[in-house]
Structure 1
Amino acid sequence: MSPPESLPPKLRVAVFNRTFSPTGGGAERYSIALVEQLSARHEMHVFAQNIGHQWPGVTYHKVSSPLRKPRWINQLWFATATWWATRRGFDVVHSHENTWHGEVQTVHVMPVKYSLFQGRHGVRRVLRWIKVVTSPRLLAYLGLERARYAARPGRQVVVTSESLRPVMAAAYPGSSAAISVVTPGITLPGALTADRKREVRAQLGLPAEGRCLLFVGNDYRKKGLEALLQALVQLPADVVLAVVGNPAHIAEFRALAETLKLGARVFFLGALMDVSPAYEAADILVHPTFEDTFAMVVLEAMAHGLPVVVSGPTYCGIAGLLSQRANALLLDDPRDAGELARVLEDLLVRAPLRETLSQGAVAFAAHYQWREIALQQEALYFAAVAAKTAPA
């Protein structure tokens, strides 16, 4: 009889997020899910300015925020405060923020340097540098970013999709050898019944009958809500839209919906602590984003068996993993309301296509469960510890 395998050592891990709440967005839900999964195996400590989460075995540390605006000053404050609090006593520091401190740095957005300089040459590049050196905000972000991705023993740079790997390598070539991909994940929900669908629609204030499109995103502009509203005008009157996300944008887009005479067909639900009821209430997820390094909401919707309409790989990281008309419908141009309306109209009238996409979505999502994703993250923690402690 072979001896039992020894358990891996328990690590003391610090995790940085300015906002540690499910309402923060996909990046925050990603961080939260990893902490929940790993808390059974390691001593997890969360450092955040806004904490809207509680989990057994997790220790929470409130980081002060004496000056929330301008945001770049708050970012510098958060980076400094978390460095001071975790400069000793932790095996691994894992940052989801633009900070210089941390063996593991997870990238959720395009690097500032890439956004500023990619594709700009000659005079255009010089003008962009003039803009940078005259902006304390840009200098702060670029300075933090450069320190964040600098090569050092144990440094692990995590990107959430393969499409982000070449972007990081182009912006910070020195980080290339340290880059790993750890995608978002899901926890597969139980089967949805007709009674449950009616129940959650009633809870959310949605019509009991009719077909419901779902939009989930905190930045309504960047995630393409305007084009979706314009497309909704062209769809049958029984099709309604539920909008989940940052309540700060509701007034502007409610006014747009009224201008388009869609007031009775658009339901702004605000930020939800748990988005699952919205997925259960909906019939189709629409995500015409202009920029997403992955788009966790698409994966979550697919886990619930929703057919998804999403921007193509040029705009959205997860789209590079999806197959047109097998598990998703991919948009060539998310700004084209006409294309979006045609795609949605076709999907709404073709029940076999909806069924194909639903089955394909669940099959796809099953390969991205959090328990497996967390083990990938854990392996990077141990790699960071081994590199830090290796003899020079």
Structure 2
Amino acid sequence: MTKLRVAIIRQKYRSDGGAERFIEHMLKALSTAQLDLNIITRSWQSTADYNWHVHICNPPNLGRLSRERGFARAARDYWKKERFDIVQSHERIMGCDIFRAGDGVHYVWLEQRARIASPWQRLRDTLSPYHHYILQAEKEMFNDSSLRAVICNSEMVKRDILRCFSLSAGKIHVIYNTIDTQLFRPASDANRYAMRQRLQLPDSATVLIYVGSGFKRKGLQAAIQALAPSNRYLIIVGQDKKVAYYQQLANQLNCLNRLRFVGVHQDVQPFYHAADALLLPTLYDPFPNTVLEAMACGLPVITSTGCGGAEFITDGQEGFICDALDINTLNHAIMAIPALSANSSLGKAARCKIEPYVPQRLAQSLTSLYQEIILHR
């Protein structure tokens, strides 16, 4: 039986990138299916030893606009030459069979970003050739007749697409991310104690964790402002060019001594094990993997209405949901989080909620979609 040749398009793999890690999880889940899996990319640094093929398309570029346009052209030329059976793009490139909207809708992101931007920044975004290109590429891709299906990782993104584009709802498939609940597990008392000792966190303190690079979009400023009046601690896993700004903000709010900036780590689980909840008041995030990871580790989640992961949370049961910029409500949510050692009911409910979302479920959903597309081609 001839294997179905599937091409996955993603411009670059970054070890701490949520979208890239999803692709690797997806490839692992699909590796048992009868598929010939191919990645078209500029750079793929994964060390995972699985049976898929990496095809490098790395045309020269002179900046981010040139980078996007050049990769789109090179990737499209390559997949047309190779004549793959299914082309699934994770980039906004016209002509693919399937688009996975893992980065959400660019127009909606700009809407949300405008809420915290200065007048000068909003004007710059409006005039930006890069944003014009991404918006146009998104529009052309969604309007292209060759697009057979769109995969969203949340109902939020599906609603955004239907609001912004004239696309049939029947083409949009919500397939949630998956989590390895055997790998991500609640902390033992010994692990929790050891990690708190390492981070110089009081054993009896209530500790929250923030995970994500790109602090502005992920809402670190709001997290610090909401945490400052409390007695809670915060572990910050991730990187940003302006990390000094956030440290200065915390210092001005007299809470820097309760923050732990630990940088980027490929293995985040030990840091989850030191925490009592995830705090992620992100402006716009289709469905960050950190929500699933934290919940699998038995942590309740405080997140925003602009986060697709909020769909897994009933307010007050697995965590709390509020507007990303509502500092007062965020503070109340922070104060409502108990230490796991005192009351783990929220955390247990969080883990229970995500347990069905295993890799096999993702593989079944994707292979069914591929078969449907081939059948009706």
Question: 1:222 maps to what in 2?
Answer: 217
How has the CA–CA distance of structure 1 residues 346 and 326 changed in structure 2, closer, same or farther, with 3 Å as cutoff?
closer
How has the CA–CA distance of structure 1 residues 172 and 351 changed in structure 2, closer, same or farther, with 3 Å as cutoff?
same
CA distance in 1, matches of 2:280, 2:370: 33
Residue 66 of structure 1 and its aligned partner are, at CA, apart by 2.3
- Residues 55-204 of structure 1 correspond to what in structure 2 (within 5 A)? 55=48, 56-64=50-58, 66-67=60-61, 69=63, 71-87=64-80, 88-113=82-107, 136-153=129-146, 155-188=148-181, 189-201=184-196
CA distance in 1, matches of 2:362, 2:200: 34
Give the TM-score, by structure 2 length: 0.86
Residues 79 and 101, structure 1, Cα contact 8 Å, conserved in 2: no
Residues 94 and 103, structure 1, Cα contact 8 Å, conserved in 2: yes
Letter in 2 for 1:327: E
Alignment of 1:18 with 2:27, yes or no, is no
How has the CA–CA distance of structure 1 residues 262 and 320 changed in structure 2, closer, same or farther, with 3 Å as cutoff?
same
Residue 117 of structure 1 and its aligned partner are, at CA, apart by 8.8
How has the CA–CA distance of structure 1 residues 283 and 191 changed in structure 2, closer, same or farther, with 3 Å as cutoff?
closer
Letter in 2 for 1:194: D
Residues 154 and 387, structure 1, Cα contact 8 Å, conserved in 2: no
- Unpaired runs of 5+ residues, structure 1, are 1-7, 119-127
Question: 2:369 maps to what in 1?
Answer: 380
Aligned to 1:36, the other structure's residue is in SS state helix
Residues 40 and 57, structure 1, Cα contact 8 Å, conserved in 2: no
How has the CA–CA distance of structure 1 residues 384 and 147 changed in structure 2, closer, same or farther, with 3 Å as cutoff?
farther
Query: C-alpha offsets along residues 309-352 of structure 1, whole Å, 9 cap, x if unaligned?
Result: 1223xx22232342121222222x33232322222123237977
Aligned to 1:35, the other structure's residue is in SS state helix
Alignment of 1:269 with 2:262, yes or no, is yes
Alignment of 1:341 with 2:331, yes or no, is yes
Aligned to 1:302, the other structure's residue is in SS state helix
How has the CA–CA distance of structure 1 residues 154 and 135 changed in structure 2, closer, same or farther, with 3 Å as cutoff?
closer
Residue 160 of structure 1 and its aligned partner are, at CA, apart by 1.2
How has the CA–CA distance of structure 1 residues 211 and 113 changed in structure 2, closer, same or farther, with 3 Å as cutoff?
closer
Residues 276 and 338, structure 2, Cα contact 8 Å, conserved in 1: no
How has the CA–CA distance of structure 1 residues 350 and 178 changed in structure 2, closer, same or farther, with 3 Å as cutoff?
closer
Letter in 2 for 1:307: P
Residues 228 and 250, structure 2, Cα contact 8 Å, conserved in 1: no
Residue 305 of structure 1 and its aligned partner are, at CA, apart by 0.4
Q: Percent identity?
A: 26
Residue 82 of structure 1 and its aligned partner are, at CA, apart by 1.0
Residue 200 of structure 1 and its aligned partner are, at CA, apart by 4.1
Question: 1:35 maps to what in 2?
Answer: 27
CA distance in 2, matches of 1:94, 1:252: 39
Residues 21 and 32, structure 1, Cα contact 8 Å, conserved in 2: no
Query: C-alpha offsets along residues 53-97 of structure 1, whole Å, 9 cap, x if unaligned?
Result: 12221222333252262x222111111111122212422111111
How has the CA–CA distance of structure 1 residues 151 and 89 changed in structure 2, closer, same or farther, with 3 Å as cutoff?
closer
Residue 114 of structure 1 and its aligned partner are, at CA, apart by 5.3
CA distance in 2, matches of 1:282, 1:48: 36
Give the TM-score, by structure 1 length: 0.83
CA distance in 2, matches of 1:31, 1:375: 15
Alignment of 1:322 with 2:313, yes or no, is yes
Q: Count residues with an aligned counterpart.
A: 360
